[in-house]
Amino acid sequence: MINFYDHKTILITGAASGIGKRFAEKVAAIADVKLILWDRNPEDLREIRDQLQSLAEVHISGVDVTDREAIQFEADHYIKEQLVPNIIVNCAGIVVGKMFHEHSFSEIEKSVQINTIGSMWVARAFLHEMIDRGTGQIVNLASASGYIGNPRMSVYAASKWAVIGWSESLRLEMEKLKTGVGVTTVIPSYIKTGMFDGVKAPFLVPLLETDQIVDLMLQGIAKQKRTIRAPFLVKFVPLLKALLPYKLFDWVAGNLLGVYKSMDSFKGRKAKSKN
């Protein structure tokens, strides 16, 4: 696995916290890499750069993935500097955690922009260069909610369903055109990153530690897997939905596993104090 990452340039969005940050820390510790870290919180990125600069060459940019012009500007800069990523890891994401009718229009727009469209824009900004080079890996963080609806997650689930559909279609396109560019879709259940503070783990679907999913990502990307799914039961959700009548599936998910009540006590990540 270590040899796979050596001498690769890796772009990570949402790199100031959660999965993005931990992925940067772990890959820098095991391989000789160049890291391009993007996040809308440049102060946090500077701290991470200072933390990792003894392990890796680190480039940071305060990029909001909802800003198409900023994405293209930064992409053009790195392309000019011959730093086209070998691996793009799209980790930027948000969750509102309300019933759909309680969402504001701006919350709906922002969720889809960050969780779905932002990942598309980041991949698109570098894709021509990756195709011309004949190698690359695009890694998109989806969610088990892209398989199954859930109260208080309607917009989040919609955005992650879109990520799964886009990732699958993009993978097929790249294979059909024989570009050498692969696509990996990461499909986890709830993760203890702070973004889902307060959720109640469904029965047989334990909350994942950040290190657990990052380790699976490091292994799966190195093996160029199409999908990385965790915990184990997530792998069976599409099959269960296909086999069971919808009322029975809802009973199993809602009453037996408790999935539909998992967001009832949701709090989410606390905003940082500006003091």
**Does residue 159 belong to any structural domain of this protein?**
yes
pLDDT tens digit string along 117-142? Answer: 999 999 999 999 999 999 999 999 99
pLDDT over 60 (residue 275)? no
61-96 pLDDT, tens digit each? 999 999 999 999 999 999 999 999 999 999 999 999
Q: Residue 127: which H helix or E strand, with range?
A: helix 118-133
Please report, as a single letter, which amino acid is at residue 19: I
Q: Considering the domain boundaries, does residue 192 fall inside one?
A: yes
Total number of domains in the chain: 1
- The whole-model pTM stands at 0.94
Domain residues for the domain of 248 are 2-261
Domain annotation covers residue 268: no
Residue 274 domain-assigned?
no
Written as one string, the DSSP assignment of 9-30 is: EEEEESTTSHHHHHHHHHHHHH
Residue 266 lies in a domain: no
176-209 b/e (C-beta count within 10 Å ≥ 16 → b): eeebebbbbbbbbbbbbbebbeebebbeebebbe
Q: Is residue 36 part of a domain?
A: yes
Identified catalytic residue from 156, 190, 246, 260: 156
- The reply to whether omega before 151 is within 30° of 0 (cis) is no
Using 50, 70 and 90 to split pLDDT, how confident is the model at 178?
very high
Q: Give pLDDT, residue 274.
A: 39
Residue 156 falls in the annotated catalytic set: yes
Phi, psi dihedrals of residue 13, rounded to the nearest 5°: -95, 160
CATH code of the domain containing 49: 3.40.50.720
- Selected residue with higher pLDDT from 36 and 275: 36
Domain-located, residue 269? no
- For residues 244-258, average pLDDT: 95
pLDDT digits (tens, 9 = 90+) for 182-198: 999 999 999 998 899 99
